[in-house]
Structure 1
Amino acid sequence: MPSTADLPLLFLVGGVAFLVLSTLWILTTRFKRCPSDKILVVYGKVGKGLSARCIHGGATFIWPMIQDYQFLDLIPIPIDIKLTGALSKQNIRVNTPSTFTVGVSTKPGTMENAAERMLGLSNESIRELAKDIIFGQMRVVLATMSIEEINADRDKLIENISRGVEVELEKVGLQLINVNIQDITDESGYIEALGQEAAARAINDAKIKVSQAERDGEIGRAQAQKEQKIVVAQAQAEATTGENLAAVDIANSNANRLVQEAEANRQAEAAQNVANARVQQEAYLAQREAEVARAEKDKASQYASVVVPAEVEKLRMETIAAADAARIQIEAKGKGDAIRYVQQAEADGQKARFLAEADGQRARLLAEAEGTEKVLKSKAEGFRALVEVTASRPDLAINLLITEQLPRLVEEQVKAISNIKVDKITVWDSGVGADGKNSTASFLSGLAGSLPPIHELAKNAGIELPSILGKTGDLAGSKPANPST
């Protein structure tokens, strides 16, 4: 049992021990460590101008009496946003059910906002606060975008929503972790119509590719058939050319024989007849050259009047077809690429048909011109043979040529009075005159006499008609020729 003198010492030792133990207890209980999934918020007297001090990771000492602490949970909070009836840029109401994941931010500055505005709130209260912010920002973002942008560019929609929501969440100390847009619909069915249009466009594109493949196959087959026909036609043309060359050689041989026989007969004639024949031959050769020149002129005229207009018409039809194709393409924009390709195919077919018709008409006209040229050349050859055969009888060749031109001469006589317009004829017949004719007969005789005499026309051309066509009087006042002489 301790003595009375030892009691103060014992009290002193006990007091020191109590003080040490109390200090250890205080240090142990007031030194707080912060877990990785929480934020330690120290509030009270934490510094001049600060309402709280936030610590994420590590530890700190909490002074008793002047400081206290509390934890903010960093566990992510999922929030279902059933947004319906939000107005888009076109004033079309859309529905965008989404899921957002938020959590308390660990960014310096933002943690202090969380400590000031959400310290002590439950997770459900934090969820409701974030939901109100997200609802408002989603409506703002949707109001700045069109239905096409909302439906087609989900990344842009999510980016705009995230950018707007994050700014507002940081004001209360939260951060946006994830955004998931589940679906986008509208009350008017516009988005569904856009989907149907895209599906129809994809189907039409597939049909167009199939049609193009079939068209390429048909074109290839037609090209092969065309080449086959060309080769066969070339072979047939070569065979026909050989036959024609052989026939030409035979005709040339016969013509040479006839020319040599005619030349032998011509040399047997008298010198005077030879000279006359030469003069007539030169005249007919000149006529032949004139006829050939006229044939060339007619050919050029036919080409200018038929082939050139056909080519112009061809170019015009090509221009019209191109303009129609352009117009069809413009009108068909928005109605589907299938209609545009069908109309383009029809325009190409119409253009090909016009080109084929123009080429056919040109070939026909060229063939007619070549035929006319051959006829005129044959006629000139006939004139030359006629000159050679009738070398001893020049008048016989003249009679034959005049007989050939007689219808044209008669036509010229008829043209002299063909354009005379007689509205009304009044004849006062006074009976028989001194020459045995009445007034009516004299009028008709004078009208017939106004026709140009055929012998006068021939004389102006340097030709004397044979007596079989009648004779003219010696002077202008002489009697008309008797048709019976």
Structure 2
Amino acid sequence: MELIILLLGIFGTGAGASFLVIRNFYYICQPSEVLIFAGNRTQIADGKEVGYRLVKGGSSIQVPLLERAFRMDLTNMIIELRVSNAYSKGGIPLTVEGVANIKIAGEEPTIHNAIERLLGKSRKDIEQLAKETLEGNLRGVLASLTPEQVNEDKIAFAKILLEEAEDDLEKLGLVLDNLQIKNISDEVRYLDSIGRKQQAELLRDARIAEAKARAQSIIQASENERVTSLRRIERDLQVAKAEAERRVRDALTKRTAVVAEVESVVGSEVARVQAEVAVQTERIKQVENQLQADVVAPAEAECKRAIAKARGDAARIVEDGKAQAAGTKRLAESWKTAGASAREIFLLQKLEPLLKTMAAGVPEVEVQNLTVIDAQNGSNVTKMASFLEQLRQATGVDVAKVAGHLAGGEPTSNGSQHQG
């Protein structure tokens, strides 16, 4: 029984001691912090030995009497930044306001810088250190930029400041998560003038853009109107084409009917003309018969009568010529018997009737004398007799009789006498 009590006492003492050890020397590390157990030397990643060991995201037991435990908060710290009269490039003093989010580095090797420089400092002291560091970097960045560069692109300015401050903060074991520039101003109103200038330029650009947009709108409207007009013309052209095709189809359709109608009219006209031709043919025959009876037959009869009369006149003329030829022959024989002088006298006596006849045929003509010219060889009497005979045969005038009347002293048509 005593042994049991002894064992229970020993067990209770061990349990109490274990509880006491767990309560005082067992540490649990939160996700937003890091545990530092100082006292024992350990080797870090780069091979360097340090006098502490780190615990992050877990738990560990402090070695009594040999180690001391520290907690380091890794949560964000919001730092308000304000820099006044920071001279920019060009000598213009600027006032810059911003906000930064920083925290203690939780990764190696930067965390070792934080342990060496910030372990044991309060959170307020860390924020002040980070603020002074950032403000110094901010002044340095402003000195390398003009007010226009700072004011025109705050994002680029913040990026340059972030790059400039990273090295300094890393040396302190801090990490800059974010940096925003809230406001930039100056007491000489330089930025206001830049703003007004930029505003004027923006207004100018806006007006130019508006004018360009208006011009582009007008151009586009004109182009749309052109396209619409072209489409309208194309539509009207298609309508006109369709209408023309319809008219052609109608014309082709009507052409057959018109051709048939014209053919019927022409056929009827041809039939009428053929009938009229037959009628006219009969009429021509009738007229021919009538002309034959009224004109041709009497004309033929008259022709026959004229031919018979001409034959009778010709027979009489022939008989008269024969009688005259016989008389002339007897006259020539008597002339030959009587001698050359008798025939000349006879011829001269016969010349007067010839002259009267010629004078009657040519009124208002006075014949003073008549001269007979021998056209061939021979005596004058022979040639004269031949001429008178030819003249009598041609004209029916007996020159010898005319000469006889002239020899008897008969007056001429104009009252004068011819001497033989």
Q: Structure 1 length normalisation: TM-score?
A: 0.40
Q: Of the two, which has the highest radius of gyration? A: 2
Q: Structure 2 length normalisation: TM-score?
A: 0.46
